[in-house]
Every structure is written in structure tokens, then in C-alpha cells.
């Protein structure tokens, strides 16, 4: 059964709006950041990673965002273009803003953390006037993420992008991507997340992220079905709530819940799993697959990424994901954690 319909005949499959930054992943694995001396540079930011993932899976993609007028900004734009992602709506900041940095710590496969530098970040300066309506009109699916809602004018740019998507019949997915250090309070976060979520067809987030959205009350017990049911009163057709190692549950308007099997992985680090899962799942939905098959595909894509040092560089092709699933089914891959 198909829960979401995508407009046929549009030249773009997927466009995302939001954070573009640099990931600096620790090369010295199994030690704290205080003792780490070298890092490897990658393009980062959840919406960027998801877009890279969608492009690697063979879809026609574009990005709406802002980069700093510096070496890092040029590195990001060049990387997107080399991955066949249209950058016609990636704007260069001229005010002196900088590129956001994320230093990652890999103490163990299950103990990872991120140290973020987001002051005066260029991506949060994307203005509504810089969002191109014609680009969104060409897209079947628009992705927004929570970090872009944290500050003005990026916040208003996202809401305008949502309006354009609704006007032109694009499906909207919301990757909650909650990063507390960019927000003033949980109450502020909950207000803007809720306002955005009301306009979205697909919501993806962890149980903790949905709890944050309910900070103003309404579901003190953190019941998944109560959480999902709220959004079916608005535009949502699919709500995915992720529970870490326990897996994910997709809820739909008909009251059904959908689960899929997970796969083992030789885990190097935990970050990047959500981005690759989102890319794999959304790809499956766009192919018209069942939710269960789409979730399995997303889970396998996530396993590939957490088995690698990078996030963006490790986003797999469709063939790589299918091969991973087959190898797991044959028992050739076993979990390390």
C-alpha cells in the first residue's frame, strides 16, 4: 500500500534546505578528543548528508542553502557538484560569516560525541528572498531539518520553502535533527518544530526528539501512538519514531504500525546512522515500495555508514545496499557491538 503520492513529470526528485557544514572526524579512534591530534575533513550537516545519500542512490537532487565565502565554503559547494547535486540555489554569504564545524570524538563504537562550533554560521543566514520558488516547484520531495529553524533568517526561509512546496504539490519530509546548542530553550524549540511539523507529510525523528516537541505538554508518558496520532490531524501521512538499537516504528493514518528487521554492522561510530537511514527510507518510499521494505533498505544503508569513518563519503549506492542485505541474509556479516 502506498501512503504518499509523488507528482509525476517533475525534473527534480529531491531538494533539501538547511545546514551545510564541515565534519572533522577523529582519526585516532578509541581515545578521547583531548588526546586526539588529527582529523579528516568531510562535508557534513544532516540535510547535506541526506541529499548526498539520495544522489548516490541515483536520484536527481538539488540543495538550498548558504555557505561562507571561504575555503571551507568552496570545498562544500565543489563536493556537492562532484556528487551531481545542483548548487544553483546554494548562496555564498558576503557578510563575513563562517562555516560551521563539527569535531567528532570516537571513544568506542558505542561512545561517540560531537563538539559543534555554530556561532555566526553562514547556513543560518539564508534569507527568504534567497529561496528559489522555481526550484521547489520542480521537485517531487522537499526535505527540511530542525537545525535550520533555530535562528532567523534561516527559520523564515524554511517556512517560505514549506509554503512553496505546498503551493506546487511537493511532498514534504521533516528530519527533526534536534541540536540543543543552537536553541535558546526547549520551549522555543517546541513552538517552531510544531509549527513546521504541521505542514509536513513525513516526520522522522528519535523518541527523544519527539519528546522535545512535546515539551509544552500533551504526552507526558512518551507514548508513540499518541505522538503519531497528533500529526495525523494535520498533514502527516507517515510518522517514523526511532528507538536506537530497538529499531524504528512507522505509523500511518490508518492506525497501523510498521516494523522491519534490522541488520548487523561492524560499527566504527554511531553518528551518520540517522542521515543514511532517512536517505534509504525516503528512496524506497519514492520507488513505491512497502514501508517495511523501505525501512529495511534504510537500516542497511545506516549499517554501511556506521561501519565507515565518514558520513557523507560513505553514503552508499543502491547496488551497495542491496548487496549488503544479501550478505547479511547469507550470514556473512555479524555485529561487533
Nearest to 200 by CA among 152, 273, 244, 149: 149
Indicate whether 1 pLDDT > 80.
no
Give the pLDDT confidence score for residue 245 in this predicted structure.
Answer: 77
Cβ–Cβ < 8 Å for 126, 97: no
pLDDT bucket at 29, cuts 50 / 70 / 90: confident
pLDDT at 335: 74
C-alpha cell at 139: 521537485
Q: pLDDT at position 337, please?
A: 53
Report d(CA 84, CA 62) in Å as an integer.
Answer: 9
Mean pLDDT to the nearest integer, 189-196 = 96
CA distances to 66, 87, 142 from 199, in Å: 23, 25, 12
Q: Strand 257-258 and strand 85-92: pairing?
A: unpaired
Closest among 85, 88, 108, 95 to 31, alpha carbons compared? 108
So what's the pLDDT on residue 52?
Answer: 98
Nearest-angstrom CA–CA distance, 284 and 292: 9
* Distance (Å, whole) CA 201 – CA 308: 31
Is the confidence at residue 316, as pLDDT, over 60? Answer: yes
Q: What are the structural domain ranges in the chain?
A: 12-20+46-97+127-329
The mean pLDDT value for 69-90 works out to 98
CATH fold of 12-20+46-97+127-329: 3.40.1190
Per-residue model confidence as pLDDT tens digits over 107-156: 887 788 889 999 999 999 999 999 999 999 999 999 999 999 999 999 99
| Mean model confidence pLDDT for the chain | 94
- pLDDT for the residue 257: 96
pLDDT tens readout for residues 237-295: 999 999 887 889 999 999 999 998 889 998 888 888 999 999 999 999 999 999 999 99
- What is the average pLDDT across 82-105? 97
Distance, CA of 101 to chain centre: 17
Q: How confident is the model at residue 336 (pLDDT cuts 50, 70, 90)?
A: low
Residue with cell 561510530: 269
Q: What's the CA gap between 276 and 273, in Å, rounded?
A: 5
- 277 grid coordinates: 537511514
- Measured in residues, the chain has a length of 337
User: Which stretch, 10-19, 175-184, 305-314, 326-335, has highest mean pLDDT?
Assistant: 10-19
Residue 252 and residue 229: Cα distance in Å, rounded? 9
pLDDT digits (tens, 9 = 90+) for 133-142: 999 999 999 9
What pLDDT is recorded for position 70? 95
* Average pLDDT score over residue span 175-194: 93
pLDDT tens digits, one per residue of 154-180: 999 999 999 999 999 999 999 999 988
| CA–CA distance, 259 with 256 (Å, rounded to integer) | 10
pLDDT for residue 110: 78
pLDDT over threshold 60, residue 97: yes
What band does 215 get if pLDDT is binned at 50, 70 and 90?
A: confident
Amino acid at each position: 500500500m502506498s501512503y504518499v503520492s509523488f507528482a509525476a513529470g517533475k525534473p527534480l526528485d529531491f531538494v533539501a534546505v538547511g545546514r551545510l557544514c564541515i565534519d572533522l572526524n577523529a582519526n585516532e579512534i578509541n581515545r578521547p578528543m583531548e588526546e586526539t591530534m588529527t582529523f579528516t575533513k568531510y562535508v557534513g550537516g544532516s540535510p547535506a548528508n541526506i541529499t548526498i545519500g539520495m544522489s548516490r542512490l541515483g536520484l536527481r537532487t538539488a540543495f538550498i542553502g548558504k555557505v561562507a565565502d571561504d575555503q571551507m565554503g568552496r570545498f562544500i559547494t565543489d563536493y556537492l557538484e562532484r556528487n551531481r547535486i545542483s548548487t544553483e540555489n546554494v548562496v555564498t554569504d558576503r557578510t563575513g560569516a563562517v562555516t560551521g564545524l563539527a569535531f567528532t570524538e570516537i571513544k568506542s563504537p558505542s561512545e561517540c560525541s560531537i563538539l559543534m562550533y555554530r556561532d555566526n554560521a553562514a547556513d543560518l543566514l539564508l534569507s527568504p528572498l534567497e529561496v528559489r520558488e522555481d526550484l521547489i516547484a520542480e521537485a517531487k520531495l522537499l526535505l527540511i531539518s530542525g537545525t535550520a529553524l533555530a535562528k532567523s533568517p534561516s527559520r523564515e526561509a524554511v517556512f517560505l520553502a514549506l509554503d512553496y512546496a505546498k503551493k506546487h504539490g511537493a511532498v514534504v519530509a521533516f528530519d527533526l535533527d534536534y541540536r540543543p546548542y543552537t536553541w535558546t530553550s526547549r520551549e522555543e524549540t517546541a513552538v517552531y518544530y510544531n509549527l513546521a511539523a504541521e505542514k509536513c507529510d513525513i516526520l522522522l525523528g528519535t523518541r527523544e526528539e519527539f519528546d522535545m516537541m512535546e515539551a509544552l505538554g500533551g504526552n507526558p508518558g512518551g507514548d508513540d501512538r499518541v505522538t503519531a496520532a497528533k500529526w495525523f490531524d494535520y498533514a502527516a501521512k507517515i510518522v517514523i519514531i526511532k528507538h536506537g538499537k530497538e529499531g524504528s516504528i512507522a505509523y500511518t493514518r490508518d492506525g497501523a504500525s510498521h516494523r522491519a528487521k534490522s541488520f548487523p554492522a561492524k560499527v566504527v561510530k554511531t553518528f551518520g546512522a540517522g542521515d543514511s537511514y532517512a536517505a534509504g527510507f525516503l528512496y524506497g518510499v519514492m520507488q513505491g515500495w512497502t514501508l517495511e521494505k523501505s525501512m529495511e533498505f534504510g537500516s542497511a544503508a545506516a549499517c554501511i555508514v556506521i561501519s565507515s569513518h565518514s558520513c557523507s563519503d560513505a553514503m552508499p549506492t543502491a547496488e551497495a545496499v542491496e548487496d549488503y542485505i544479501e550478505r547479511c541474509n547469507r550470514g556473512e556479516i555479524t555485529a561487533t557491538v
